[in-house]
Amino acid sequence: MALVMAFLAKVLLVDGWHGGYFLTDVLAYREALERLFSLLEGQPKYKAAMELEPYTLEAMLYGERFEVERRGREKPTIVGWSWSRRRGRAAPQRDAARLGSYGVRLELPEGVDWINLCQPKPAAGLEGKRLIFSGWIRALKGRGAHLYIDAWDEAGFIPGSARVSDPVPPDGRWHFVKVEFIVPYGAVTIFPQAKITGGPGVADFDGLSLEVVETGEELLENGGFEETRMPSLRDLENLRRLRRWIRRGRLEIVGGAYSQPILYAIGQEAVLREFLLGTRAVEEALGATVKVYAAQEPDWVGQIPQILKGFGFRAVLYRTHWGAFGSAPPKDAEVVLWEGPCGARIACIPHPSPIWRPWGSSAPNPRSVAECKRLGIKTPLFTFFHDFSPRRVHKTRSLLARGILWAGWAHVCLRMDATRFRGRTLIFSGWIRARKPGAHLYIDAHDARGRVPSGAYARSPDVRPDGRWHKVAIRLRVPESAVHLFPQGRIISAEGDADFDGLSLEVEGEGKGLLPNPSFEEGLEGGWSIGHSQGVEAEGEVVEGEAAHGRKFVRLRMRSRAVRGEFVTLEEYLEIVGEPKEVWRDAYQGFVHRFPFGLLGGRQQRADREAEDSILRTERLYAIVGRDPGEDIWDAWRLLLIGHHHDAWVCAPVVFGLWRWGFKRYADLSLSACREARKICKRLTEALEGDDPLRLVLVNVCGFGRREFVNVKLTLPDGLVRLPALKGPDGNLLPAVVEVRGRHPDGTAKEAEIWALLDLPPMGYVRCEVVDGKPPEPPRARAKRAGEGVVLENRLVRVEVRRGGLFLLSPEGELLTGGPVHIAGRFQEGDEVWEITEARPGRRGPFAIAEGRGRIGRVPFTFEASLSPLSPLVKLAVEFDFGEGVVVGEGEPLPPGRKPPSVPVWARDDCKLRLCVPLPFHRPEFLAHNAFELRRPHDVRFPILRFAVAREGERVVAVYTDRQTAGVFRKGPRPSLEVVLAYGGRFIYAPHEFAPLRGRERYELALLFGRGDLESLRVAQVAEELAHPALVLRASPSFPRPRFSLLSLEPEGAVVLTAAYIDGGRLLLRLWRPYRRERGLTIRVAGATEIRPCDMRGRPEGGPLDGERAVIRMREAQIVNLVASLTKPST
pLDDT digits over 703-742, tens only?
Answer: 999 999 999 999 999 999 999 999 999 999 999 999 999 9
Q: Averaged over 375-390, what is the pLDDT? A: 94
Of 366 and 387, the structure prediction assigns the larger pLDDT to 387
Helix (H) or strand (E) holding 79: none
So where are the chain's domains? 6-64+234-398+568-593, 86-229, 406-564, 782-1027, 1046-1131
The pTM assigned to this predicted structure is 0.90
What are 57-91's pLDDT values in tens digits? Answer: 999 999 999 999 999 888 888 998 988 755 678 88
What is the CATH number that goes with domain 86-229?
2.60.120.260
What are 1033-1060's pLDDT values in tens digits? Answer: 999 999 999 999 999 999 999 999 999 9
Q: Please report the pLDDT score of residue 1128 as a whole number.
A: 55
Q: Are 993 and 986 in contact (CB under 8 A)?
A: yes
- CATH 2.70.98.30 matches 782-1027: yes
Arithmetic mean of pLDDT over the chain: 94
Q: Please report the pLDDT score of residue 454 as a whole number.
A: 76
Q: In which band, very low, low, confident or very high, does the pLDDT at 979 lie, cut at 50, 70 and 90?
A: very high
Torsion sign across C-alpha atoms 903, 905, 907, 910:
positive
Cα-to-chain-centroid distance, residue 231: 25
Indicate the CATH number of 6-64+234-398+568-593 among 3.20.110.10, 3.40.50.10860, 3.10.50.40, 1.10.540.10.
3.20.110.10
Helix (H) or strand (E) holding 243: helix 236-247
Q: Classify 1046-1131 by CATH class.
A: mainly beta
The Cβ of residue 221 has, within 10 Å, a number of other Cβ atoms equal to 13
Q: Are 286 and 242 in contact (CB under 8 A)?
A: yes
CB burial class (10 A; 0-12, 13-18, 19+) of residue 842? Answer: middle
Q: Averaged over 423-446, what is the pLDDT? A: 94
Q: In which band, very low, low, confident or very high, does the pLDDT at 1130 lie, cut at 50, 70 and 90?
A: very low
d(CA 20, CA 30): 9
Does position 1131 have pLDDT exceeding 70, yes or no? no
Q: Please report the pLDDT score of residue 27 as a whole number.
A: 87
d(CA 486, CA 527): 11
What are 928-970's pLDDT values in tens digits? Answer: 999 999 999 999 999 999 999 999 999 999 999 999 999 999 9
Q: Averaged over 839-866, what is the pLDDT? A: 97
Closest by alpha carbon to 415, among 488, 477, 479, 476? 488
What are 308-339's pLDDT values in tens digits? Answer: 999 999 999 999 999 999 999 999 999 999 99
Q: Please report the pLDDT score of residue 1108 as a whole number.
A: 85
Does position 778 have pLDDT exceeding 90, yes or no? yes
What are 524-576's pLDDT values in tens digits? Answer: 999 999 999 987 899 999 999 999 989 999 999 999 877 888 999 999 999 99
Q: In which band, very low, low, confident or very high, does the pLDDT at 2 lie, cut at 50, 70 and 90?
A: very low
Spell out the residues 6+ positions from residue 580 whose beta carbon is closer than 8 angstroms to its own: 335, 336, 337, 347, 348
Q: Please report the pLDDT score of residue 113 as a whole number.
A: 87
- Collapsing DSSP to helix, strand or coil, 1025 comes out as helix
Intrachain domains 86-229 and 406-564 with the same fold = yes
Q: Please report the pLDDT score of residue 8 as a whole number.
A: 52
What are 808-831's pLDDT values in tens digits? Answer: 999 999 999 999 999 999 999 999
Q: Please report the pLDDT score of residue 1 as a whole number.
A: 41
* Strongest mean pLDDT among 447-451, 473-477, 1027-1031: 1027-1031
Indicate the CATH number of 406-564 among 3.40.720, 2.40.50, 2.60.120, 2.40.30.
2.60.120
Does position 1067 have pLDDT exceeding 90, yes or no? yes
